[in-house]
Amino acid sequence: MRKGKLAVIGAGKWGQALHFALSQKEECYITSRSKRDIKNFVDLEFALSCEYLVIAIPAQEIRNWLEKNFVYSNQKILVASKGIEASTGAFLNEIYSNFIPNNSIGFISGPSFAAEVIQGLPCALVINSKSKKIYEEFSKFFPNFIKTYYSSDVVGAEIAGAYKNVLAIASGICEGLNLGNNAKASLISRGLVEMQRFGKYFGAKKMTFLGLSGAGDLFLTANSTMSRNYRVGLGLATNRSLEEILKELGEVAEGVQTANAIDKLSKMYKIYTPIAKEVKLILDGKSPKDSLNDLIKN
């Protein structure tokens, strides 16, 4: 029996911001692994009984979470995570497809720092789904300060949202090394070309990379210390260990594991991804200055 209509699963930064936004028009519930002092906090059983679910847990945890917790009872799902599974190279839509039919799931993408959404500041986002009905149903829940667009290019939006996190790490490194504005603009624009090339291999549409899900989110994340991934890059540039940087961050930086996933997929399918490759090598201990030299030379 349904106990409510709409719930967010995951009460991290993004889950809480989406809960705030979706509560403007509709009674919206929220759940998490541990109890939180948030209005309309419910247990997982209550949340799973809702007809509409927004899932905002880190990409690397999704498969395990679905296997252990998820019971499909015709819910409609909106996935809010941005990443690629590092252990397998699987895209999130592939993981979810083992549990939820294609026409019942959508993926939200676009430039959206949780810290701004939770203040009610305006932005434009994309709901990507094979089913336009999913877009129509979820978009009704979004508040007036968020404009939503529809796209059927699920794989394109997913790759753009995940890849930009790796490029944000690269951009943070560029800033931390004081390489200047020209270098950063070069890196971001070549990064955009690189993620589009990677996406094309998997059937993504070029336009997705030029819109909100690609350029929009890349320009946001690769230019601001509000981005966790960018801050990881800043730390790496000053030769701090990844372990120390992540400990201090205390939140997820999806680009770290997504760099491993892209490396795996690029090698497997022979896709040219020079920036993501250097980010992966730096995360594994290569000197950022050596990476810069190699990027310029090759």
Ligand X SMILES: NC(=O)C1=CN([C@@H]2O[C@H](COP(=O)(O)OP(=O)(O)OC[C@H]3O[C@@H](n4cnc5c(N)ncnc54)[C@H](O)[C@@H]3O)[C@@H](O)[C@H]2O)C=CC1
Ligand Y SMILES: O=C(CO)COP(=O)(O)O
> In sequence order, what E strands does 25-175 have?
28-31, 52-55, 76-79, 105-109, 123-129, 146-151
By the rule CB under 6 A, 112 interacts with ligand Y: yes
Residue 219 interacting with ligand X (CB under 6 A): no
The closest of 174, 179, 119, 121 to 147, measured between CA atoms, is 121
How many other CB atoms are found less than 10 A from the CB of residue 47? 25
Three-state helix/strand/coil letters over 193-222: HHHHHHHHHCCCCHHHHHCHHHHHHHHHHC
Q: Which residue is nearest to ligand X (CB)?
A: 12
Does 217 help bind ligand Y (rule: CB under 6 A)?
yes
Residue 111 in the binding site for ligand Y (CB under 6 A): yes
> Smallest distance from the beta carbon of 162 to ligand Y, in angstroms?
10
247 by DSSP, 3-state: which? helix
106 scored as a contact of ligand X (CB under 6 A) = no
- Assess whether 3 carries a catalytic annotation: no
Contact at 8 Å (CB) between 171 and 146? Answer: no
Question: Contact region for ligand X (CB under 6 A) — 208-216, 233-241, 247-255, 266-274?
Answer: 247-255
We find the least distance from the C-beta atom of residue 264 to ligand Y, in angstroms, to be 21
> Can you tell me which of 234, 252, 256, 275 binds ligand X, judged by CB under 6 A?
252
Which of 6, 7, 8, 15 is the binder for ligand X (CB under 6 A)? 15
Residue 48 or 123 having the CB closest to ligand Y: 123
Residue type at 103 in one-letter notation: N
80 burial level (CB within 10 Å; 0-12, 13-18, 19+): buried
- Interaction between residue 166 and ligand Y (CB under 6 A): no
Give the C-alpha separation, 290 to 62, whole Å.
Answer: 35
User: Which chain residues interact with ligand X by CB under 6 A?
Assistant: 10-15, 32-33, 56-59, 61, 64-65, 80-83, 112-114, 251-252, 254
Q: List residues forming the annotated binding site for sn-glycerol 3-phosphate.
A: 82, 110, 112, 164, 217, 227-229
Annotated binding-site residue numbers for NAD(+): 114, 228
Catalytic machinery residues: 164
